[in-house]
Structure 1
Amino acid sequence: MSWLSGAEAIVKSLELHGVDTIFGLPGGQLDHLFDAVYKTDGKIRLIHSRHEQGSAYMAYGYARSTGKVGSYSVVPGPGVLNTTAALCTAYACNSPVLCITGQIPSHGIGSGRGYLHEIPDQLGIMKKLTKWASRIEQPDQAPKLVQEAFRQLQNGRPRPVELEMAMDVMALEQEVELLKPEKISVPDPDLDLIEEASKILGKAETPLIVVGGGAQEASEEVMQLAELVQAPVTFFRNGKGVLDDRHYLSQSFPQGHRLWRDADVVLAIGTRLKYQQMYWGLDSELTILRIDIDPEEIDRIASPKIGIVGDAKKALIKLIPATERNNRKRVSRRDELINLKQGFSRSYQEQIGPQYEYLKVIRQELPEDGFFVDEVTQVGFASWYAFPAFKSRHFVSAGYQGTLGYGFATSLGVQAANPGKKVISISGDGGFLFNLQELSTAVQYHLNVVVIVFNDGKFTNVQRQQKEWFEGHIIASDLFNPDFVKLAESFGIYSKRVNSPKELQPVLQRALSIDQPALIEVKLTEELPTPWPFILSPRSRKS
């Protein structure tokens, strides 16, 4: 037992659970918490952002790029509400983000008296937006509730959680018994279902594997199974990198659409399988097998032939030898699938040439173990299928949440979690201004991200739709921008402007070689071609 304040009980519990970084912003309801972090003598690094949303996105980037818990702390009320876009993103992308927030004085919670940052039922709001949320009422409750928070973060489907403590409880001292982390056990998959699935997969003539974010820790097993049954592996944003894009079996999203047409058996691993089931089509000639940690996800859209509830890696370790026993004789599909890759590469060049050329330069200059953070922008959309990812977790996206402006702040969290690795963030001119204030954070904490801002003076996606759908009416989609180069230079950041992929290459080389953050503005003078035909594909099944 130790005599600790509420704040110290939280921080020491976080230390025991392996937290080494907290992103956040100080404020009255968090003074004791930040002092407790200070007293760790650097065991927990505190990185403060310039806006609460930035803190939460940094925690998301930390979690998304490592698979470990990303933690942030902000004041209650408007402070924590400012982070909800990032929490939605973490929820959508199944990322373990821990939000620690303060509260008004405990005796005033729910009173409506108008305490600083008071909002109605903050805990109720957070329970709706996260997997789990709780209030720590006394210091001696902190170890158990922190332990439970980490159990929720690491058990089953990972999603964000929230803990809150009132400011007076943070100051209150009590005898506290600290608790070690619980051992999280992963349930074994049903071996009868594994055997049944292996027989179907082993007999399949044209099998296809679809992977999502739930397969990020099972790269080796996915490759083994894919090679065993000669099944191409396709994916969308959160499954990129599970299988190295340079492998002939790795087939990006549009190629997956083509392969879906002729597949007789599909094994879906850790993926919603949303686009495939809702838009690409299902029929009686297609057998669906699924592996997912979340039993609710398996038949959310349609019921598969077999649904295996379990961790992707653990299930595949059982499925591979079973399939090997039941496998038919296979002929390599290398030539067929390399030709498919090359054909789509030519299509990208023809239909989205400008974006494709920029992406090729970025891929050429980014080291193999470097990280790429996309954005809700024309080059970002194209990157979902035209940017090769070589490793799990090295392509970071906002997933279906599509949170405009998430990218730059998220990339700082990626960099904080991966010191010594190169990180490139791309942004449009619209999205970048959502969190441009975090240029200050990048400089202050030596987070040497290279951000590439594509500047065309408009919300291009919106304006394209306005022209196509509303007789060319331009409605609030033109942008007035600063001089991005001068803006970055005012923070002491290396900054250059380029006008083409050819000009980008040497500037990007230089930006990646220096020991400081960098901003490169790409000035676009012509509208980029639409990237959407490769994403919004029609039904591909025959019936």
Structure 2
Amino acid sequence: MATMTGGEALIAALAAHGVDTIFGIPGTHNLSAYAAMKRHGIRHISPRHEQGAGYAADGYARSSGRPGVCLTTTGPAILNAASAALQAYSDSVPVLFVSPGMPLRHPGRGNGLLHEVKDQSGAMAAILGRSHRVTSVAEIPLAVAQAWTDLTGGRPRPVHLEIPLDLLEERAEVTVVDPVPATTCTPAPESVTAGAAACAGARRPVLVVGGGARRAGAEVIALAEAVGAPILATSNGKGIVPEDHPLFVGAGLQHRCVLDLMDDSDLVIAVGTEFAPSDWWIGLPDLSGKVLRIDVDPAGIVTNVVPAVPVVGDAAVALRALRAELDRPAPAGAAQRAAQWRDRHRQAARAEGEPWLPIVSAIAEALPRDAIVAADSAMACYYGALSNLPLHRPGAFLYPTGAGTLGFGLPAGIGAKIADPDAAVLVLQGDGGTMFTVAELAAAAELGIALPVVVVDNGGYGEIRNEMADRGEPVHAVALGRPDFPALARSLGCHGVRAADPAELTGAVKAALEADRPTLIHVREESRAARGMA
């Protein structure tokens, strides 16, 4: 046991769980935690807004596979991070959000204390489903250990930890709790046997890989090769299987040909995916009676699609068990079947992403094979890059799928670069989303990281402009003018350039990957939305 403040108890507990980086902003109520960081070997990254801190912790977690940590102060600070918490929740990303809260003996109806919120923990619990408010200094290390089991066991989702601000300053005897050994969810043997039988009987299988298989890429490929299944990836599954694998069809499930492939298949093997409408934009086909679903979440495994064969367990463990029970040669012609569907998917992707193909192709030419792309909820990303930019490593495509927040790309890219400093990380976003978190260019400049930030400009909220026009209603409130993005970047300590054509864009990205600081690269988009804005 050691005597320490609640703030140091928090930092000591995080350090004991392997945390070496925290994203956040200091405030009046969390200074005791900041006082202890250097003593415990923790590096602090200072985004310019708490929402950016949350997205950066999210990007750190997605790219590294380790939980990210976001530390804010009370009230408006943690509420600023709430959108990031929602995004992490919707995409099953392990981020620990920590904030002070009102004192233990604070009046129930309030008295106007600085940053007062009536029920801050309740507000975060409404978003995340769980928020733990501790009630003593001695409880803090235990609360961190419990939170860590939620972050690293089963389906990874964010957690909020609230520490009353008086406890952060109070001193008490504390025992730091060692990390609880991680457990792996092993599927029931009978479900594995049923799954193997379904695979053995399939003649035209297909495999859909989602973000829940991020640590099971080799196992996904092994099963797909064993049963001869073409492979599709969701947006969060993009990169888990290298996109030049002979069985890989494509990333992005929003194309008509994907529904046709589902109809053509007699078994759909779904690994770590929700079958969420945010992936299946045009709706799900009838999958009755032909889904083998592998998921670590017992409740999630019957959400959106009820499988014929449910296998509840860790993706890698379940896939290895299925592969071990299979004893038959793969169907002949699997690679040819995958190639046919790959051609159809590529045609659909190119047609949908046609306005952004020159930009995407120029970026692809500049990126190394193991690059990471942090994308925003922008047309250039979900129409352009999702299905047309090949990526080849798990966690290579950081994209805000479920909540669909704007402003995610830049801070998420910063988090990814902090997690893997040697990786080539590129940010891709639109002009509208850029303005949500543009201040994080200053944070990136301060870090001195080589980070290309490609801003694809159509003059405003292009998707919403098109929806208004398609509804036959007045188009308004969507044009954002023409900010001088390169000058803005330079004013915040970054390089700022314009690329007038694909060759210039390729050269600019290559140079930015070797630069002494971030580089904003401004590109004009030629699209229906851009013409409408003009």
Q: Is 1:302 equivalent to 2:305 in the alignment?
A: yes
Q: Give the one of 291, 295, 314 matched to 2:294.
A: 291
Checking the alignment, whether the CA contact within 8 Å between 2:359 and 2:502 is kept in structure 1 is yes
Q: Specify the alignment match of 1:279 in structure 2.
A: 283
* Secondary structure of the structure 1 residue equivalent to 2:274: coil
Deviation of 1:343 after TM superposition, in Å, equals 4.2
Superposition deviation, residue 17 in structure 1: 0.2
Secondary structure at the counterpart of residue 207 of structure 2:
strand
| In structure 1, distance between residues paired with 2:301 and 2:378 | 31
Q: CA deviation at 1:328?
A: 5.3
Correspondence for 1:27: 27
Map residues 338-349 of structure 1 onto 2, 5 A cutoff: 338-349=339-350
Q: Match for 1:495: what amino acid?
A: G
The corresponding residue for 1:330 is 331
Q: 1:442 to 1:417 in 2, by over 3 A?
A: same
Distance 1:525 1:272, change over 3 A: closer
Counterpart amino acid of 2:145? Answer: Q
| Alignment partners' CA distance in 2, 1:294 and 1:344 | 30
Q: Is the 8 A contact 1:277 1:301 kept in 2?
A: no
Q: CA deviation at 1:283?
A: 5.3
Distance, in Å, in 2 between the alignment partners of 1:446 and 1:525 is 32
| Change over 3 Å in CA distance of 1:121–1:466 after alignment to 2 | same
Residues 445-460 of structure 1 correspond to what in structure 2 (within 5 A)?
445-460=447-462
Query: Aligned in 2, Cα 1:37/1:142: closer, same or farther, shift over 3 Å?
Result: same
Deviation sequence 1:298-351 (CA, Å, 0-9, x none): 11223211111110001111110112x2x3552132233224323443444455
Q: Secondary structure at the match of 2:34?
A: helix
Partner of 1:103: 101
For the residues of structure 2 that align with 1:283 and 1:169, how far apart are their CA atoms? 53
Question: 2:148 and 2:287 mapped to 1: Cα distance?
Answer: 41
How many angstroms apart in 2 are the aligned matches of 1:438 and 1:528? 27
The one-letter code sitting in structure 2 at the alignment partner of 1:189 is P
> CA separation in 1, counterparts of 2:209 and 2:488?
41
Distance 2:282 2:464 in 1: 24
Contact (CA 8 Å) 1:131, 1:159: kept in 2 or not?
no
Equivalent pairs: percent with the same residue?
A: 32
Structure 1 position 109, deviation (Å): 5.6
> How far apart, CA to CA, are the structure 1 residues paired with 2:351 and 2:330?
38
Shift of 1:161: 0.3
> How far apart, CA to CA, are the structure 2 residues paired with 1:283 and 1:381?
25
Per-residue CA deviations over 1:224-263 (Å, capped at 9, x if unaligned) read 0101111011122011112111012112233533311201
Q: Which residue in 1 is equivalent to 2:374? A: 373
**Letter of the structure 2 residue corresponding to residue 125 of structure 1:** A
Matched residue, 1:533: none
- TM-score by structure 2 length? 0.94
C-alpha separation between the residues in 1 aligned to 2:526 and 2:258? 33
Residue 147 of structure 1 and its aligned partner are, at CA, apart by 0.6
CA–CA distance in structure 2, aligned partners of residues 66 and 491 of structure 1: 28
Aligned ranges 1:113-128 → 2 under 5 Å: 113-128=111-126
- Identify which range, 220-229 or 124-133, moves more after superposition: 124-133
Which amino acid letter does the alignment assign opposite residue 444 of structure 1? Answer: E
Alpha-carbon distance in 1 for matches of 2:344, 2:199: 28
Aligned residue in 2 for 1:8: 8
Paired AA for residue 288 in structure 1:
V
Q: Which of residues 138, 144, 147 in structure 2 aligns to 1:146?
A: 144
Residues in 2 aligned to 1:32 and 1:52: alpha-carbon distance in whole angstroms: 19
In the other structure, the counterpart of 2:239 is 241
Q: Which residue of 1 aligns with 2:37?
A: 37
> Which SS does the other structure have where 1:367 is aligned?
coil
Stretches of structure 1 that go unaligned for 5 or more consecutive residues are 531-543
Deviations 1:66-94 (A, max 9, x none): 12110011111111111111001000110
Q: 1:201 aligns with which of 190, 199, 212?
A: 199
Q: Distance in 2 between matches of 1:98 and 1:385?
A: 31
Code of the residue aligned with 1:59 in structure 2: it is: A
The equivalent of 1:401 in structure 2 is: 403
**Which amino acid in structure 2 is aligned with residue 298 of structure 1?**
I
Q: AA paired with 1:119?
A: V
SS in 1 for 2:305: coil
| Structure 1 residue identity aligned to 2:492 | F
Aligned to 2:216: 218
Whole-angstrom distance in 2 between the partners of 1:507 and 1:283: 46
> SS state of the match for residue 49, structure 1?
coil
SS at match of 1:222: helix
Give the distance between the partners of 2:287 and 2:438, measured in 1 at CA: 48
TM superposition score normalised by structure 1: 0.93
Aligned partner of 2:54: which letter? A
Q: Residue in 1 aligned with 2:357? A: 356
Measured in 2, the distance between the counterparts of 1:102 and 1:447 equals 31
Q: Secondary structure at the match of 1:29?
A: coil
Distance 1:114 1:345 in 2: 59
Displacement after TM superposition at 1:525 (Å): 5.3
Q: 1:345-375 CA deviation, whole Å, 9 max, x = no partner?
A: 3444455323122112212211112110111
Contact 2:290 2:307 in 1 (8 A): yes
2:300 is paired with a residue whose SS is helix
Q: In 2, Cα distance between the equivalents of 1:346 and 1:197? A: 33
Aligned to 1:130: 128
Range that drifts further, 487-496 or 311-320 = 487-496
Distance 1:428 1:50 in 2: 20
Distance 1:430 1:277 in 2: 22
Q: Is the 8 A contact 1:132 1:149 kept in 2?
A: no
User: Is contact 1:4-1:173 (8 Å) kept?
Assistant: yes
Contact 1:62/1:414 (CA < 8 Å) preserved in 2? yes
Separation in structure 2 between the aligned mates of residue 330 and residue 196 of structure 1, nearest angstrom: 19
Q: Is this contact kept in 2: 1:235–1:256, CA < 8 A?
A: no
Q: Distance in 2 between matches of 1:92 and 1:452?
A: 25
Counterparts of 1:532-543 in structure 2, within 5 Å, are none
SS at 1:393 equivalent = coil
User: Which residue of the partner structure matches residue 483 of structure 1?
Assistant: 484
